[in-house]
Amino acid sequence: MTAIPDIMLSNGQNIPQFGFGVFQIKPEDTVAAVSTALQVGYRHIDTAEMYGNEKEVGEAISQSGLDRADVFVTSKLSNDAHEPDGARRAFDESLKALGFDYLDLFLIHWPLPTRYDGDFVSTWKTVEEFYREGRARSIGVSNFQPRHLRRLHAESDIPPAVNQIEVYPYLTQDELRGFCAEHQIAIEAWSPLGQGSVLDDPTIDSIARRVGKTPAQVVLRWHIERGDIIFPKSVTPERIRENIDIFDFELSGEDVEAISALNRDERTGPDPDKFDGR
Ligand code: NAD
């Protein structure tokens, strides 16, 4: 396996382009899953307060024997904690649950434009505090649309380093990705496999057969070729190994385009403009 590439964020910090996501992994399964991931070479874990497994993520990292500095860890603000004092408490609690004194990346999980009087700017200004204190090495957002990002740019000091959004072959998000590229905001593609829904696609299957990889590996490699940061989830050790084994091959430009052409603008998750986080 060749090394996992780093992507340099706008603030100069490096993030591994590939990692492990722990959404919907039960707390009781999290230590085993994250331990397997770390053993087979993952060095980037994506969790969130709302996943309910930060404590177990921290335990797995501490038991791994790796230096804290060698694992890039992201967590995200609870939808129920957007008011400044609540956000400060929630951030402290995330650190405490993980057993860390800093996070590599901290994100506002959803913009929630229909809640908190649509004031995600005050929430962002609170998140900026964590960055200035050095307790969040990078800060960013998730599920933000261009109109939300424009407000942050106009009304706050520190631009988000990343936007974590839903991207998979049936939702390629080219407009939003283009906007973020123009503004030096790195894209993290959540649910990179569409939670498994694209793995039977005939186009993906035929590319996979031709290049001698699995459909999951082809889809993950497609994201890597497009330059997005990904962290597929699995609790199955063989799949955890399979998903990281994508750094010994490349897709041709034609194959990347053929997969991008599958776009149907089909979300599996909520619409960020309407979702109120409850
Ligand atoms: P995913 O696209 O990573 O799909 C995971 C599912 O795909 C697994 O449960 C399994 O059913 C299947 N799968 C995984 N590897 C496979 C393989 N090799 N072969 C066959 N099937 C396989 O979905 P996800 O977990 O929703 O997304 C990944 C991560 O993105 C999450 O764990 C989380 O960290 C993040 N995320 C963020 C948000 C957000 O709002 N910011 C939302 C959803 C997910």
CB of 172 within 6 A of ligand 1: the answer is no
170 catalytic, yes or no?
no
Of 263, 221, 265, nearest in space to 242 by CA: 221
CA 103 – CA 74 distance, rounded (Å): 6
State mean pLDDT over 242-254: 98
> Which atom of ligand 1 is nearest the CA belonging to 215?
19
- 141-180 pLDDT, tens digit each: 999 999 999 999 999 999 999 999 999 999 999 999 999 9
Helix (H) or strand (E) holding 138: strand 136-142
Q: Which of 51, 102, 131, 168 is catalytic?
A: 51
- 187-229 pLDDT, tens digit each: 999 999 999 999 999 999 999 999 999 999 999 999 999 999 9
> Which atom of ligand 1 is nearest the CA belonging to 196?
7
**CA-based torsion, 270, 243, 16, 133: positive or negative:** positive
Residue 179 alpha carbon to ligand 1 centre in Å:
25
Residue 39 makes CB contacts below 8 A (sequence gap 6+) with: 64
CB of 215 within 6 A of ligand 1: the answer is no
- 53-101 pLDDT, tens digit each: 999 999 999 999 999 999 999 999 999 999 999 999 999 999 999 999 9
CB of 30 within 6 A of ligand 1: the answer is no
**CA-based torsion, 56, 62, 65, 66: positive or negative:** positive
State mean pLDDT over 14-30: 98
Best residue among 233, 236, 245, 275 to mutate for probing ligand 1, ranked by most atoms within 8 Å of CB: 233
Q: Which residue minimizes the CA distance to atom 27 of ligand 1?
A: 191
- Which pLDDT score, from 0 to 100, does residue 234 have? 98
CA angle 45/187/99 to nearest 5° reads 25
How far apart, in Å, are the Cα atoms of 224 and each of 7, 113, 174, 247?
A: 11, 31, 15, 9
DSSP at 191: S
* Spatial contact of 198 and 170, defined as CB atoms under 8 Å apart: yes
CB of 79 within 6 A of ligand 1: the answer is no
Best residue among 23, 167, 217 to mutate for probing ligand 1, ranked by most atoms within 8 Å of CB: 23
Residue 272 alpha carbon to ligand 1 centre in Å:
18
Residue 268 alpha carbon to ligand 1 centre in Å:
11
How many Cβ atoms from other residues are within 10 Å of residue 188's Cβ? 27
- 35-47 pLDDT, tens digit each: 999 999 999 999 9
> Which atom of ligand 1 is nearest the CA belonging to 242?
18
> Which atom of ligand 1 is nearest the CA belonging to 22?
32
What is the Cα gyration radius of the chain? 18
- Which pLDDT score, from 0 to 100, does residue 114 have? 97
pLDDT band at 1 (very low <50, low <70, confident <90, very high): low
How far apart, in Å, are the Cα atoms of 168 and each of 31, 99, 230, 231, 253?
A: 27, 33, 10, 12, 17
